[in-house]
Amino acid sequence: MQDMNDFWDDVLKDKIANKPINAAWEDLSKEASFRPIIYIGAGGFGCSIIRSLKADIDKLIPDQSIKDGFAFMGLDTHPRDQNDILTEVEYTSLAVGISPNAVSKDPVYSPYLGWFRELAGSWDAGSILAANKVRSVGRIAFLFPASLTAFYNNLNSAFNRINGFRQNFNVNISPKVYVITSLAGGTGAGLFIDLLAITRSYLSSQLGQNHILQAILATPEALEGEAPPTDYPEFYANTYSSLKEIFHFIRGKQELISYGIEGAGLKKLEISSQHMPHHIFLITDRNKKGKPVVNTMEELGAMVKSYLLFEIQTPLRTKGGAPKVQDGENRRIDTPGHGNMPRVFSSIGVVRFGLPYDEIADLYTYSIIRKAISDEIASSNNMSEIEKWIVCQGLPEVDTDQLQEALRKDKEGHAIRVPLDVEGDLSNLKRTEYGKACKSIKDNKLRAIKETIKPKIEGNASVHLQKVILNLQATFEEKIRDTSIGEALYFSRSLNDLLKKQREALTQELDAGRKKLSKSEEKVNYGISTVSEAAASGFFGRKSRMQCATTSYGGDLEALLNQQVVVWAQEEGTKLYDNLLTNCDKLLKDWKVVEDAYLSRLKNTKDIIIDLIAKIDSMSEINKRSAGNRFSIVTSSNVKALYSEFFSNEVISSIALRARKYWREKALLNDTMTKDKDWLPKAISAITDEVHDKIKDLDILKVIERFYTEGKDRDDLMASVMALGSPLFPMDDSKQESLYMTDRVVAVHPSVRDKFNAFFVKYKTAQEGISDAYFSTPHEVIVYTISHGYTGHSMNRMNYYKAQYDYLHNKYLELRAEKIPFRPIHTWSGAEDWDDLMPKPPGEEESFRLFIVARSLNNLYSDSKMQSFIYSKGSNYYLLMEKGKPEKLGNSLETALENFNDNPEWQKKIRQEIDSKIEDLGTAVIRQRIESEYMPIIDAETKSCKKGRERNRFKILIELKALLEDFIKTDLKERKV
């Protein structure tokens, strides 16, 4: 995307350094076209361009004093939005809410708007809020006095702005006005002829002929696919009727109209060719060869805006001092073209080609980011490190009792043992109390160790657990910080697996320990009964039996107590494992979300890369390209080769590592709340500059030299470029002229301008002019083709436009005759009878011309019987053949013309008679008599037909009169024929 500020910073800033702008004017004008310009956009299409253009010019030209040289105007049948970039004096809201039917009948407005009532008949337009594809509604909305006054005031404001700029900087340059609209809709297509007439009349009143007005008119093809198919016939009918109306004035016809505005001659204005644009640029969605260049009206609008911006970024005059090509005169306009039609239309072509730098930079950046994401979720699978960590934390239980032993230690670190002195405890008791005392000792000892030793074990377990948890967290965070998410997750997952194994081993020991504890207790209970029995036994040998029973009991009780300690340690150990596993699970759960986010980003990055590769390949295919007729001179294979040259594996790994460090610094690493589409742009910002630094010097010429060998490869490339850049005017090859007036504007970065122009000039034809424009990047070039001299009917879709027009307009006429409401197609009364854009079939125009000249000479130089040349009796038409024999041409004017056109012999005879009469009397005499005597006759007959609603005869008479006027102009000059 072009950076608007580059032009100012790269090219102009140094021109005005330390001096007033008016003093720097000469230098500035060699680089830029700061011609005062008013941009006027009509309707939705035109206004959208003007709004976007204003925003970009604000960026392009930061200096307000120069910015004042550009004024912007929009007008549409919508109210102004309060946030509109166009101010209240720049945007005219046209008659929103008024009823066209009501105001056209109102005596106050009918002198200016009565034409609508005549066209609409009983059809009700409703209240205006958009013109809804009805051109007459667009026109009446503009001509409604309040709207027209507001527009006129805004036009005056715009002129004062640019005129102040001219005076401040002493700029002696003709101001320029652009009028931009689509011909498809209702508003812009309905009002643009009046807009042209009023604007030119105003400019002439202020500047005389010292101004330039150019119109850019868009046809509807780009709307196909956007609008409902049911709208297409109206789009094309509107286009043809619009062109038919402007063609009327282009051909020199005049219409008197009252606009009701004082000043600038608008009270009553006779609109003629003098009110038409100096250039009419007709543009569509495809180029000369019919290849689609844009897909939407938005893209077409962007292309028009681009053309207008690049015009500013070209020198005010060419290097030879002549006017810049955008202002050049259409020298073909006075030379009739195919079908003897005027060559009044111009068009613009555009092709952008080179290295699609942004796409390639993105591809390289995302490729490295993909590597960074992959590295971030990768791991080394180093299990031995995790095993060592478990040992260091005192956690092993497989093949060892390290954990439970750690839990059975006292403060000094000694293993906890439960010592007993059962004999001492029984020494002061009667022997009859031994059994009961042993049971009491057991209960007391168990209670005592539960109250003293078990809390120690639990405390040890708690301390151990907290220590391990802290170490676990620290180790995990260290791995996140210093290695990768993948390494940290591998550590946690592997630790989790190992802890489960340790827990399983300890659980098995615990089960065995509990069984052992149960058996120990049984043994102690048995010992108690043995002591009781020994104490109750006979005298002889009793002491020995008691001694033996007591000793055995004491040993069993000590074993029970110590086994209880072991079981408690094992139980706390399993709890510790459970807690650790819970912590591991939480870490894994929390960071699994992060991992999933990275896996999603990895997939999205891959998808972006695939899309970029597909886009580059599509752009490099001559029949596909991309929006705006952008053509890549490299394929994805070429781009891959360049990637290998600029980015080695070591460089890629190094850049990827820096990206990952950046994510850590900017808290992007574990950001899972941001959607991928928002996270990825933030993530790549870490390396964008680094990628650009690697490839920024890869300009278009280096790429051509790298991938296109001199000779055929380069010739084929440039032949494709020149064809792609042909004007947005698809040609009917059968109606193509031998030569058009064509210039190329090459928008290229100053750093490669001279070398590229030297390369480019070899591929343009000798007749084509060339001039420079600024472009912000050395990687691509835009070539604008400006071509003049097209006839309207040479556009290959014009027949289709006419077919849609004929269908809808004939339907309008038929229904109107039956007094059935139907919306009008034209915006001017009688416009259906104006000249067509489509020429007559070969020979027809000449035969019609002979016919009307013969009729005029019959009226002026007839014999006594009024039977010379072509004469009429009633509705029948005749001519006299050899020996005075009358030959009937037909029983109506239409039939007579048709038969005369089909008979070369009759035409030959009449041509000879006309030539003879001119030879006898001279051109001046005949010219004077036709103009003074016969023209009033044909005018009266035409008026009578119109009044009597003889539509076909009226249309024929209008056409015949035009042919007679052309005969006077071309054949009756001050010389003999």
Residue 868 lies in a domain: yes
Tell me the pairing of strands 37-42 and 630-632: unpaired
Which residues have a Cβ under 8 Å from the Cβ of 490 and sit 6 or more positions away?
Answer: 379, 380, 381
Six-digit token string for 359:
């796409």
What is residue 785's predicted lDDT score, i.e. its pLDDT? Answer: 92
Q: Are residues 132 and 246 in the same domain?
A: yes
**Which residues are registered as beta bridge partners of 40?**
73, 179
Q: How far apart are CA 106 and CA 101, in angstroms?
A: 9
Contacts of 564 (CB under 8 A, 6+ apart): 446, 449, 517
Closest CA to 600 of 706, 676, 664: 676
DSSP state of 671: -
pLDDT of 322 higher than 70 = no
Task: Examine the domain organization and report whether 178 and 137 are in the same domain.
Answer: yes
How many domains is the chain partitioned into structurally?
Answer: 4
Q: Tokens 């120990």 sit at which residue?
A: 520
For residue 303, how far is the Cα from the chain centroid? 11
- Distance from C-alpha of 694 to C-alpha of 897, rounded to nearest angstrom: 76
Q: Which of the listed residues 577, 592, 607 is the one where a domain comes to its end?
A: 592
**What is the token pair recorded at 61?**
């030209």
- Tell me: do 188 and 62 sit in the same domain: yes
Is 295 in contact with 221 (CB distance < 8 Å)? no
Rounded to 5°, angle at Cα 631 from 345 and 4 = 80
What single string gives the DSSP state of each residue in 731-789?
B-GGG--S--EEEEEEEE-TTTHHHHHHHHGGGS-TT-EEEEEE-S-SSEEEEEEEEEE
For residues 285 and 729, the answer to whether their CB atoms sit within 8 Å is no
Instruction: At 101, list the tokens.
Output: 């039917």
**Could you report the per-residue pLDDT of 738-793, keeping only the tens digit for each?**
888 898 999 999 999 999 999 999 998 888 888 888 888 999 999 999 999 999 99
| pLDDT tens, residue by residue, 201-249 | 999 999 999 999 999 999 999 998 889 999 999 999 999 999 999 999 9
Please, which residues bridge with residue 747 across strands? 773, 782
Q: Burial letters for 49-83: b for 16+ Cβ neighbours within 10 Å, e otherwise?
A: bbbbbbebbeebbeeeebbbbbbbbbbbbbebeee
Bridge partners, residue 281, by sequence: 216, 346
d(CA 634, CA 745): 23
CA distances from 371 to 311, 365, 641 (A): 44, 10, 18
- Report the alpha-carbon distance of residue 153 to residue 162 in Å, rounded: 15
For the segment 175-197, what is each residue's pLDDT rounded down to a tens digit?
A: 999 999 999 999 999 999 999 99
C-alpha–C-alpha distance, residues 941 and 962, integer Å: 14
Nearest to 608 by CA among 369, 283, 310: 369
- Rounded-to-integer distance, Cα 937 and Cα 964, Å: 13
- Structural domain includes residue 374: no
Cβ burial, residue 451 (10 Å; 0-12/13-18/19+): exposed
User: Range of 16's domain?
Assistant: 1-29
pLDDT of residue 49: 97
The Cα–Cα gap between 793 and 799 comes to: 8
SS3 state of residue 974: coil
What's the whole-number average pLDDT of the chain?
A: 89
pTM of the model: 0.76
Q: What dihedral angle (degrees, nearest 10) is formed by the CA atoms of 591, 592, 597, 598?
A: 80
Domain holding 908: CATH number? 3.30.250.10
Q: Tell me the H-state helices in 621-648.
A: 636-646
588 alpha-carbon distance from chain centroid: 43
By percentage, how much of the chain surpasses pLDDT 70? Answer: 96
Which residues are CB-contacts of 395 (< 8 A; sequence separation ≥ 6)? 402, 403, 468, 499, 502, 577, 580
Residues 240 and 172 in one domain: yes
Spatial distance between the Cα atoms of 889 and 870, rounded to a whole number of angstroms: 9
Cα 803–Cα 806–Cα 810 angle in degrees, nearest 5: 150
pLDDT at 3: 55
- Pair 23, 124 in one domain: no
pLDDT at 1 over 50: no
Q: Report yes or no on 430 lying in a domain.
A: yes
Give the CB-side neighbour count of residue 890, counting CA atoms within 13 A: 13
pLDDT digits 0-9 by tens, 789-847: 999 999 999 999 999 999 999 999 889 888 999 999 999 998 988 888 888 777 788 88
Mean of the pLDDT values across residues 350-367?
A: 94
Over the stretch 705-753, which tens digit does the pLDDT of each residue have? Answer: 999 999 999 999 999 899 888 899 999 988 888 888 898 999 999 999 9
Q: CA-CA distance, 585 to 578, in Å (whole number)? A: 10
Interval 124-134: pLDDT, tens: 999 988 889 99
Residue 447 lies in a domain: yes
Structural contact between residues 11 and 31, judged by C-beta atoms closer than 8 angstroms: yes
Average pLDDT of the residues in 482-499: 93
Which 3-state string (H, E, C) describes 83-124?
Answer: CCCCCCCCEEECCCCCCHHHHHHCCCCHHHHHHHHHHHCCCC
132 and 154 assigned to the same domain:
yes
pLDDT(73) > 90: yes
H or E segment at 877?
A: strand 876-880
Tokens of 825: 């197609």
Residue 313 is predicted with a pLDDT of 85
Question: Tokens for 38?
Answer: 């008013």
Q: For 56-80, what is the HEC assignment?
A: HHHHHCCCHHHHCCEEEEEEECCCC
Instruction: Examine residue 271 and state whether it is found in any structural domain, yes or no.
Output: yes
> Rounded to 5 degrees, what angle do the CA atoms 517, 519, 522 make?
110
Q: Which of 126-130, 321-325, 618-622, 964-968 has the lowest mean pLDDT?
A: 321-325
CA neighbor of 804 nearest in space, from 218, 184, 138, 115: 184
Distance separating alpha carbons of residues 494 and 490, to the nearest angstrom: 6
* Alpha-carbon distance values, 435 to 531, 541, 627 (Å): 6, 18, 103
Q: What is the largest CA-CA distance in the chain?
A: 188
- Residue at a domain's end among 250, 268, 284: 284
Q: Are residues 18 and 79 in the same domain?
A: no
- Region 641-656: mean pLDDT is 95
Q: Which of 284, 314, 344 is the last residue of a domain?
A: 284
Task: Give which of 877, 895, 897 is closest to 887, Cα–Cα.
Answer: 877
Whether the pLDDT of residue 2 is over 60: the answer is no
Q: Is 121 found in the same domain as 21?
A: no
Does residue 755 form part of some domain?
no
| pLDDT of 912 strictly over 70 | yes
Tens digit of each residue's pLDDT (9 = 90 or more) over 460-484:
999 999 999 999 999 999 999 999 9
Is 604 part of a structural domain of the chain?
Answer: no
Checking if the pLDDT of 485 tops 90, the result is: yes
Residue of 744, 751, 782, 733 whose CA lies nearest to 766: 744
Give strand pairing partners of 871: 878
- Please give the average per-residue pLDDT across 273-301, as a whole number: 91
Together in a domain, 1 and 61: no
Rounded Cα distance, 42 and 192, in Å: 7
Report pLDDT for 459.
Answer: 93
Average confidence (pLDDT) over 392-403:
86
Residue 499 within any structural domain of the chain: yes
Of 358 and 766, the structure prediction assigns the larger pLDDT to: 358
Q: Are residues 118 and 7 in the same domain?
A: no
Together in a domain, 56 and 19: no
- What pLDDT sits at residue 577? 93
Same domain, 208 and 277: yes
CB within 8 A of 453, min separation 6: which ones? 416, 418, 565, 568
Is the pLDDT confidence value at 14 over 80?
no
Q: Tell me the CATH number at 72.
A: 3.40.50.1440
Residue type, 656: A
Round the CA-based radius of gyration of the chain to a whole number and report it: 48
